[in-house]
Structures are given as structure tokens and as C-alpha cells.
Amino acid sequence: MKSLAKLKKIKGDASFREFYRNRKNKSIIVVSKKEKLKNLLIYDAINKILIKNRILAPILLSENYINNYIEINDFGDQTLFQILKIKKNNKYVISK
């Protein structure tokens, strides 16, 4: 892994994880500072459950649990809110 100083820190979720964008690999480095191994394993397990149920979630690209980080694919900067905001007809059908 590159030094975190060379990567761009991005906003994350409400957890003890930090997220860094690796533009070269088009990936995100997820670093856990508290409950390190457990936190990363749970994060990956939830993503796998979402993917299995056909819900778009980041795929694990590589892991280094000894050094407290995993690498996942990057969906980019655009948020769902931004997509809906620019659409004229922003009604989407959500189904199982």
C-alpha cells in the first residue's frame, strides 16, 4: 500500500474507519483504527451480503488485515442525491 499521505482522504461513514482514494488503481483504501480486524471483516461481510442480494456494493480487491486495511473498488464521487437532483423525472421504482 502507498503511504496514506499520498492518497486523498475522503468522507466515510459513521464508523471508526477512514477512507482514502487511490486514483491510480481506481480503488478505495479502508483503514480501521479501532476494533481493527473485526471492523474490516464485518464491513466486507456486509458488502458480500448486499452483492449476493443484487445490491450494488464495493467488491473487496485486496486485504491486509495485519496492517489494518482493505482495498475495495471505487464508485467515484457522484452520490445518489446528485443523480436524482439532475434528473427531471427522479422517481425510481424500488423492488425486491
- What does the domain layout of the chain look like in residue ranges? 4-86
DSSP 68: T
Identify which has the larger pLDDT, 84 or 73.
Answer: 73
- Whether the model pTM is above 0.85: no
Query: Strands 27-32 and 8-10: what pairing?
Result: unpaired
For residue 48, give the C-alpha cell: 458480500
Region 70-78: what's the mean pLDDT?
86
Question: CA of 33: how far to CAs of 28, 30, 57, 80, 86, in Å?
Answer: 16, 10, 22, 28, 37
For residue 93, give the C-alpha cell: 421504482
Write the pLDDT tens digit of every residue in 38-72.
889 998 999 999 999 998 889 999 999 889 999 99
Write the pLDDT tens digit of every residue in 4-13.
767 888 876 6
- What CATH number is given for 4-86 in this structure? 3.30.200.20
Mean model confidence pLDDT for the chain: 82
